[in-house]
Structure 1
């Protein structure tokens, strides 16, 4: 009898075909994310789980898993999974980091361009019938990227790739990490290591590329925004909870900083009555950092491979902990 695998949402046809060859698969097709009560009921029977970043796989959920061998998440982040407890229970956890690097860096850069040149704001002006005259010398002006300082918080895969894009636009690049990257990498990217305090105070554009942890939770708050330049812009394509959303709303309203570009939020999806939606000096994207046809296909391929390896008692291609 084939082993049971649950998908909390469907994947590409080629991925499902590959899974059906080996396993008895069940695909949740109801409310997204899968209700915790349903997941709790199904996790008791399955040996493999394919989940998504909005699925909460915490300790209490994993406790109900009697036969679970592997959790394969269709995402670069894994903060929705209690990886420590999974390791304790000898459950392998796979994720999909490298394949979405370019797509996410491209989106971060597009958010920078958009907020700097007020593209989305202009789109709304036209669609709402408010473009009533040709703009003059001081009307509706944006900001150049050339010559500006890009601060990158987290010079990992995505942060490094963003630096390459910024270098082509003649931006000055500074970064802060837990530790320096190699001198050769700094030279290749044209990036200079600075303290966190200097990153905050010197950046014209500050792009966040760190995971959500106890240390980074609400790290960007009013205290930090007040230390940034009034002309600065915050870009976040990492995790929503790294930024205190209420504090950001306040900072944007009071022009403590000039603007922001967000692809991630504390609670997703956000509704149209969210206070951020009423602000003009912010560009909002619906968590689409990895959302290109090419990237999503590669993610599906790795998600399936991670699951198959884990089901066979082997380490996933990209593994967390065990």
Structure 2
């Protein structure tokens, strides 16, 4: 009997490439991702490729055939990991498949904000050539940037910012200081104390109890009025209400925000009415190349699990590996 895989996102060429080589696997995409609908069907599947929909304890309790939950990405805040662990089901991620992609997006935000990309484009189309003097752009060379998180993405972002001749600082209490020094950056012990000196702050850490709301009113008020906040991690690490208020009051100069607390974000989000913010549709990790890689890795994790050779480096809850 063929093993069945539920796919909770568009089926990419990378997924098709891996599964297409296997005659013992059949797969199908689910587009109705409510908990009740998944509950009705999850018991018929041996594996699942997860998008961003919640994978809850109720679903996991009904996943009686499930051998693996493979995340199409690296974030897993929508997955109940303790429930998977209790059930003995590994949760896998795609390693570095989109790390470069997200790092590039964070750099794109910084450049676009510093160079006034949106404002210049809009005003030049109106014939306002003097915008270059009325609203001068910034160099990012020699500016100070604080990176919150030195994981797969943070490491690659640091490399790019050092190449841009920025003065790079890193806060990550779970990483050896020597690793940060070796990357050409300066480790920071008290990141809040460093805020008044920073021109940019980039969020590149996971969302958890420790990081949710870590950048709020007090943190932004501690920053320069010319500083920018960039978030390419998860919605809610930067407090959206506090950010909106800070941008309205020009407490900071601007922000680049990719993820939101409620997604898809709707047109009535108060942040969208502001001119000093650049937004994207949680697409920092989504390019043609990264989608192929993420699909390929997510599918390969499933194949490897079925074949009994799952790479533990890709497993979040390693305790289930026995």
TM-score of the aligned structures, taking structure 1 as reference length: 0.91
Change (3 A) 1:113 1:137: closer
Q: For residue 200 of structure 1, report the CA deviation from its aligned partner.
A: 2.3
2:3 alignment partner in structure 1: 3
Task: Supply the distance in 2 between the matched residues of 1:14 and 1:238 (Cα, whole angstroms).
Answer: 24
Change (3 A) 1:265 1:119: same
Q: Give the CA RMSD over aligned residues.
A: 1.9
1:265 alignment partner in structure 2: 260
Task: Supply the distance in 1 between the matched residues of 2:79 and 2:132 (Cα, whole angstroms).
Answer: 52
1:25 alignment partner in structure 2: 27
1:97 alignment partner in structure 2: 95
Greater Cα offset, 156-165 or 231-240? 156-165
Task: Supply the distance in 1 between the matched residues of 2:128 and 2:16 (Cα, whole angstroms).
Answer: 54
2:168 alignment partner in structure 1: 173
2:76 alignment partner in structure 1: 78
Task: Supply the distance in 1 between the matched residues of 2:84 and 2:309 (Cα, whole angstroms).
Answer: 15
Q: Contact conserved, 1:19 with 1:304, CA < 8 A, in 2? A: yes
For residue 300 of structure 1, give the secondary structure of its aligned residue in structure 2: helix
Change (3 A) 1:47 1:180: closer
Unmatched segments (≥5 aa) in structure 1: none
Q: For residue 239 of structure 1, report the CA deviation from its aligned partner.
A: 0.7
For residue 98 of structure 1, give the secondary structure of its aligned residue in structure 2: coil
**CA deviations over 1:248-284 (Å, ceiling 9, x no partner):** 1011001111110011111111122211111111110
Structure 2 residue 112 is matched with structure 1 residue 114: yes
Change (3 A) 1:6 1:255: same
Q: Contact conserved, 1:50 with 1:303, CA < 8 A, in 2? A: yes
Where do residues 211-222 of structure 1 align in structure 2 (5 Å cutoff)?
211-222=206-217
2:43 alignment partner in structure 1: 44
TM-score of the aligned structures, taking structure 2 as reference length: 0.91
Structure 2 residue 147 is matched with structure 1 residue 152: yes
Q: For residue 172 of structure 1, report the CA deviation from its aligned partner.
A: 0.8
Task: Supply the distance in 2 between the matched residues of 1:51 and 1:180 (Cα, whole angstroms).
Answer: 28
1:228 alignment partner in structure 2: 223
For residue 234 of structure 1, give the secondary structure of its aligned residue in structure 2: strand
How many pairs were matched up? 315
Task: Supply the distance in 1 between the matched residues of 2:29 and 2:264 (Cα, whole angstroms).
Answer: 22
For residue 142 of structure 1, give the secondary structure of its aligned residue in structure 2: coil
Q: For residue 137 of structure 1, report the CA deviation from its aligned partner.
A: 7.0
Q: For residue 161 of structure 1, report the CA deviation from its aligned partner.
A: 1.4
Q: Contact conserved, 1:75 with 1:96, CA < 8 A, in 2? A: yes
Q: For residue 15 of structure 1, report the CA deviation from its aligned partner.
A: 2.2
Where do residues 45-64 of structure 1 align in structure 2 (5 Å cutoff)?
45-52=44-51, 54-64=52-62
Task: Supply the distance in 2 between the matched residues of 1:289 and 1:137 (Cα, whole angstroms).
Answer: 28
Task: Supply the distance in 1 between the matched residues of 2:50 and 2:160 (Cα, whole angstroms).
Answer: 32
Greater Cα offset, 287-296 or 37-46? 287-296
Q: Contact conserved, 2:216 with 2:242, CA < 8 A, in 1? A: yes
Q: For residue 184 of structure 1, report the CA deviation from its aligned partner.
A: 5.5
Greater Cα offset, 175-184 or 92-101? 175-184
Greater Cα offset, 173-182 or 239-248? 173-182
**CA deviations over 1:169-194 (Å, ceiling 9, x no partner):** 22111111114534254143233434
Q: For residue 124 of structure 1, report the CA deviation from its aligned partner.
A: 3.1
